Structure 1
Amino acid sequence: MNILRKYKLPEGFFLGAAASAWQTEGWSGKKDGQDSYMDLWYKETPELWHEGYGPTVATDFYNRYKEDVKLMKEVGLEAYRTSIDWSRFLTNYETIEVNEEAADYYNKLIDEMINNGIEPMLCLEHYELPAELFKKYGGWGSKKVVELYIKYAEEVFKRYSHKVKKWFTFNEPIVIQTRVFLDSLRYPFIQDTKIAMQWNYNKILASAGAIKVFKEGGHSKDGGEIGIILNPDVCYPRSSAPHDKEAAEKFDLFFNRIFLDPSVKGTIPEELIDILKENNCCFEYTEEELKIIKENTVDILGINLYAPTRVKARENAWNPRTPFHPAYYYDKYELQGRKMNPYRGWEIYPKLMYDFSMRMKEEYGNIPWFIAENGMGVEKEDLNKNSEGIIQDDYRIEFISEHLKWLLKAVEEGANCRGYMLWAFTDNVSPQNAFKNRYGLVEIDLKDNRNRRIKKSGHWYKKLSDSRELEATDFTFEYK
């Protein structure tokens, strides 16, 4: 029997939700040649996107942002994180010519949020690399793109930093190259580990460069902060045996520390560089670049956490005819009896919030950070409506409650976590899955002109925001 208790949200601990430009705005207002990498991917392989939906209309946020900001207030958001679409914001990516219509849209969006008491938190790149730079230079494989990104960032800061105080250089900077070049799951389906690692390094360098111009431009005054949004896999070994623990450590090195260490500590792990050199897939770098990375670490860190990763030592020899891949060191492992989200295929393990919080406290100087994404994607939610047409997503309320409870426990024990943001505010487009799995506090009804309806979870989130009290199961009766 579960015993409930109430958990107080600490003073200053904020509640919010997140999305991105490409997953919400749609193509309205975009000019010829303003495709992002995501737009290009969709145009090249629309048949691979669930039921053909992609970023063409998305949630039509570009035209309906005023309506959506009102809904943000109705579901209790204190902050909203989205991105500036780099491909939309500029009309010339090399001479940094601004699309003034886009600049005005972002300016009005920021004002609309502020006027409704919602803090805007903006990311400079959430997979919106301009397609032109992908095709001309190979995207983040080129140092030229690093240079152009920093100039773009500088222009954005000049325009908006006087009223936006929380900035982020990237969202999940490891994802695109992992899916495209490491695992060859996405367009253009190329498997090349060296390219993947060069993308990783160049994004580390670009992030440090953007932080440098932010601070040199005086944008840190009046409380301005800049960070990065990472998606570390909280990784658990199958057993306490040395071979399984080593597998987890290697996974952590390639998928977590590769961005955590330079972002917070200013250094790329030497072990990682040694392994990459040994396997002829190390990125190109200079000592001057490493100095920029060292001197320009984040003020604040956003962390996206959804599900744990479990690994074990490899049980079969690596095929020597295939290129090096981090999986040389590990196999994925499925825990028997695990609780699952059957729609997304992810394990549900709320304690990962506490475990990661303790790692931040003990290994990364307990710097300020927050949960930038956490949520539950569910298919065919419209089958769960009551007589009034409101989606009854009690499973989402339970998911948020259990994860937030573990996060608050960590805060009680000294973790410097400043807030919790749900993915997502509304249902939105996901890469290739489109609208298949719904994550929002607010429904986007594709059968009814994309009209919005607050779900049961949205009303619940508002009560949580107003009361500052979370009711969830008592730890005394769990995880003995």
Structure 2
Amino acid sequence: MTSDHSTRASSATDAAAATDPAPAGATGAFPDGFLWGIASAANQIEGGFDEGGKGLSQADVIPFRTARDYVDISSLMKATDASIAEAVATPGTAGYPKRSASDHYHRWEADVELFAEAGLTAYRMSIAWSRIFPNGDDAEPNEEGLVFYERLFTRLRERGIEPVVTMSHYEMPLHLVTEYGGWANRDVIALFERYARTIVTRYRGLVRWWLTFNEINTTLIEPYTGGGVVEREAAPGVDPRQTSYQALHHQFVASARAVRIVHEVDPEARVGCMLARMAHYPASSDPADVVKAQFDNNMNFVHTDVQVRGDYSGTVRRFWRDQGIDVRMEPGDAAELAAGTVDFISFSYYMSLVSSVSPEKYGATGGNLFSTIKNPHLPTTEWGWHFDPEGLRYVLNGLWDRYQVPLFIVENGLGATDELVGQVTGEGDERVDTRAVHDPYRVDYFVQHLRQAREAVADGVELMGYTAWGGLDLVSASTSQMTKRYGIIYVDADDAGVGSYDRIRKDSFFWYQRLIETNGAVLDD
């Protein structure tokens, strides 16, 4: 790690005003200036898919698909040439939930007031690339899109909320998918670089916290969602993973360039990577299972190794050799990766996984994009995900020990079927709204996970903040459902986009408000 990198990492901690961690179990033992917030993605919350000069994104062509089982849901996120063509020919929002999403595009001002009422100090969100460059390769950016985010960022800061902004969150312009082949095409690097320079320059002083790619490892798990790579039959003798790894390499180079742009254009800003942290436990104490879990964890760390350390690990290089995968790198790529390392690591954590050399001996449970061996020691959520709060402490300590850079939990939350009770009666001055959502299960999820995060802080981990996934109910990335709800604010719309889109504070909203007011002391109640 270079001295320049170390200086930037320390600056990121200073910018978050972190102090020495308090002892484990102490009341409100989160650092001063800890960033408390919620998180979303433009394609899952905004709507307005064809307004304000926006072009179609890769998410706008994914239809609602009923998930008959949740053991392997990655197929729900895939796209083919035929499915894209059908979607492009289909006008309006019907059947394509992400086109209307939570209607934040039209309701953002009132939404920000709700965020302020909750006491948020951070809002992790994304910019829709296709709202800035509708086709991705346009000669000039779309001014109306730039103004939309400028107004949003300005209002957030006026209300004391720091924007934490992801440059690319599963929403690249569709034109770059259909005409360029997504991130498998190296030409997309320069287009992303221009996009990054445009937004960082425009929002200099408004955005102090940037993330480059959301859950960048998704490019290997589901190439269309993560990398805009349409599923096609590989040439004979070619490993289908070849294209995914090539696309991922291009994203790493683009991320490194974006990091350097942020540091050049706005030296006060900080930039991080974002990993879907998928911690693997061995299924048994059999050394073969332990080594398998170690390998699976190291393959998850490939992404942070490149973005934090600036180079590929020996684990992945050997894997490529063994599998016959040849990732083409241009002269200068290694130097670019080394020069474009991030200031901090952000990550999502929802569940842990189990590894074994003999998975057929164990039952399976659902997962985020793929199935995993059932862990007999853990309960599962409604969607079959392992409920593992202690895994968050394990993840935090593991990332801190490996990289020694500040950490930021930017996604964590519970997807559940919420019940709206009460009703609206009367009109005008006589209007009475008794609608509510009682979600103690979500509060319990937050309490259990945040207690473990607090333990990690006491262990010495430098933790910058926590942004709960959802905030507002939004359309699920995988199943395109609204009824798989994560928010502390209920959005009155169903899977078909039918409803008033009214915002209703859930019980968890008021609990989260107290959490922020007490800097975590409510966890001891």
- After TM superposition, the score normalised by the length of structure 1 is 0.87
The residue correspondences of 1:295-374 to structure 2 (distance < 5 A) are 295-314=339-358, 332-341=372-381, 343-365=382-404, 367-374=405-412
2:482 paired residue among 435, 446, 460: 435
Q: Is the 8 A contact 2:390 2:452 kept in 1?
A: yes
Change (3 A) 1:52 1:396: same
Would you tell me which structure has more strand in proportion to its own residues? 1
Question: Percentage identity across aligned positions?
Answer: 28
User: 2:154 maps to what in 1?
Assistant: 111
Q: Is the 8 A contact 2:218 2:225 kept in 1?
A: no
User: 2:442 maps to what in 1?
Assistant: 396
Letter aligned with residue 289 of structure 2? D
Give the whole-Å Cα distance in 1 for the aligned partners of 2:329 and 2:358. 31
Give the whole-Å Cα distance in 1 for the aligned partners of 2:213 and 2:359. 36
Give the whole-Å Cα distance in 2 for the aligned partners of 1:244 and 1:73. 48
Q: Is the 8 A contact 1:375 1:422 kept in 2?
A: yes
SS at match of 2:168: coil
User: 2:323 maps to what in 1?
Assistant: 279
Give the whole-Å Cα distance in 2 for the aligned partners of 1:108 and 1:182. 28
**Are positions 1:235 and 2:286 aligned together?**
no
Q: What is the CA deviation profile of residues 249-291 of structure 1, one whole-angstrom value per residue up to 9, with x for unaligned ones?
A: 221233x112110111111112212221332223211341011
Letter aligned with residue 121 of structure 1? V
SS at match of 2:332: helix
Change (3 A) 1:437 1:68: same
User: 1:197 maps to what in 2?
Assistant: 245
Unaligned runs of 5+ in 2: 1-24, 64-82, 235-239, 361-370, 425-432
Letter aligned with residue 145 of structure 1? V
Q: Is the 8 A contact 1:27 1:55 kept in 2?
A: no
Q: Is the 8 A contact 2:348 2:411 kept in 1?
A: yes
Give the whole-Å Cα distance in 1 for the aligned partners of 2:232 and 2:481. 19
SS at match of 2:355: strand
Instruction: Compute the displacement of 1:247 (Å).
Output: 1.1
1:450 paired residue among 501, 518, 521: 501
Instruction: Compute the displacement of 1:72 (Å).
Output: 0.4
Higher alpha-carbon deviation: 285-294 or 148-157: 285-294
2:261 paired residue among 213, 222, 229: 213
User: 1:293 maps to what in 2?
Assistant: 337
Give the whole-Å Cα distance in 2 for the aligned partners of 1:90 and 1:205. 20
Number of positions where the alignment pairs a residue of Structure 1 with one of Structure 2: 450
- After TM superposition, the score normalised by the length of structure 2 is 0.80
Higher alpha-carbon deviation: 38-47 or 99-108: 38-47
User: 1:38 maps to what in 2?
Assistant: 59
User: 2:521 maps to what in 1?
Assistant: 470
Q: Is the 8 A contact 2:127 2:165 kept in 1?
A: yes
Q: What is the CA deviation profile of residues 153-195 of structure 1, one whole-angstrom value per residue up to 9, with x for unaligned ones?
A: 01111100222100111111121442247999x9647672111
Give the whole-Å Cα distance in 1 for the aligned partners of 2:356 and 2:221. 20
Give the whole-Å Cα distance in 1 for the aligned partners of 2:208 and 2:118. 23
1:89 paired residue among 127, 132, 137: 132
Give the whole-Å Cα distance in 2 for the aligned partners of 1:448 and 1:362. 47
Q: Is the 8 A contact 1:372 1:422 kept in 2?
A: yes
Change (3 A) 1:33 1:101: closer
SS at match of 1:228: strand
Letter aligned with residue 355 of structure 1? Y
SS at match of 1:421: strand
Q: What is the CA deviation profile of residues 379-427 of structure 1, one whole-angstrom value per residue up to 9, with x for unaligned ones?
A: 2433699993210000000100110000011101210111111001100
Q: Is the 8 A contact 1:96 1:152 kept in 2?
A: no
User: 1:12 maps to what in 2?
Assistant: 33
Change (3 A) 1:95 1:407: same
Instruction: Compute the displacement of 1:7 (Å).
Output: 4.2
Give the whole-Å Cα distance in 1 for the aligned partners of 2:468 and 2:139. 33
1:136 paired residue among 161, 165, 179: 179
Instruction: Compute the displacement of 1:92 (Å).
Output: 5.0
Give the whole-Å Cα distance in 2 for the aligned partners of 1:363 and 1:32. 44
Letter aligned with residue 430 of structure 1? S
Instruction: Compute the displacement of 1:448 (Å).
Output: 3.8
Letter aligned with residue 449 of structure 2? H
Instruction: Compute the displacement of 1:351 (Å).
Output: 0.6
Give the whole-Å Cα distance in 2 for the aligned partners of 1:356 and 1:138. 34
Give the whole-Å Cα distance in 2 for the aligned partners of 1:314 and 1:182. 29
Give the whole-Å Cα distance in 2 for the aligned partners of 1:233 and 1:202. 22
**Are positions 1:424 and 2:463 aligned together?**
no
Q: CA RMSD in A?
A: 2.9
Instruction: Compute the displacement of 1:246 (Å).
Output: 1.5
The residue correspondences of 1:374-393 to structure 2 (distance < 5 A) are 374-382=412-420, 388-393=434-439
Q: Is the 8 A contact 1:182 1:193 kept in 2?
A: no
Q: Is the 8 A contact 2:36 2:465 kept in 1?
A: yes
Letter aligned with residue 203 of structure 2? Y
Instruction: Compute the displacement of 1:338 (Å).
Output: 1.7
Unaligned runs of 5+ in 1: 317-330, 475-480
User: 2:11 maps to what in 1?
Assistant: none
Moved over 6 A (4+): 181-184, 383-387
User: 1:327 maps to what in 2?
Assistant: none
SS at match of 2:285: coil
**Are positions 1:409 and 2:455 aligned together?**
yes
Higher alpha-carbon deviation: 5-14 or 155-164: 5-14
Instruction: Compute the displacement of 1:352 (Å).
Output: 1.2
SS at match of 1:378: coil
Letter aligned with residue 254 of structure 2? A
Give the whole-Å Cα distance in 1 for the aligned partners of 2:379 and 2:359. 25
The residue correspondences of 1:11-90 to structure 2 (distance < 5 A) are 11-28=32-49, 30=51, 34-42=55-63, 44=84, 52-90=95-133
Instruction: Compute the displacement of 1:337 (Å).
Output: 4.2
Give the whole-Å Cα distance in 2 for the aligned partners of 1:183 and 1:57. 21
Change (3 A) 1:190 1:101: farther
**Are positions 1:148 and 2:148 aligned together?**
no
SS at match of 2:389: coil
Give the whole-Å Cα distance in 2 for the aligned partners of 1:242 and 1:282. 30
Higher alpha-carbon deviation: 463-472 or 445-454: 463-472
Give the whole-Å Cα distance in 1 for the aligned partners of 2:141 and 2:230. 28
Give the whole-Å Cα distance in 2 for the aligned partners of 1:313 and 1:29. 48
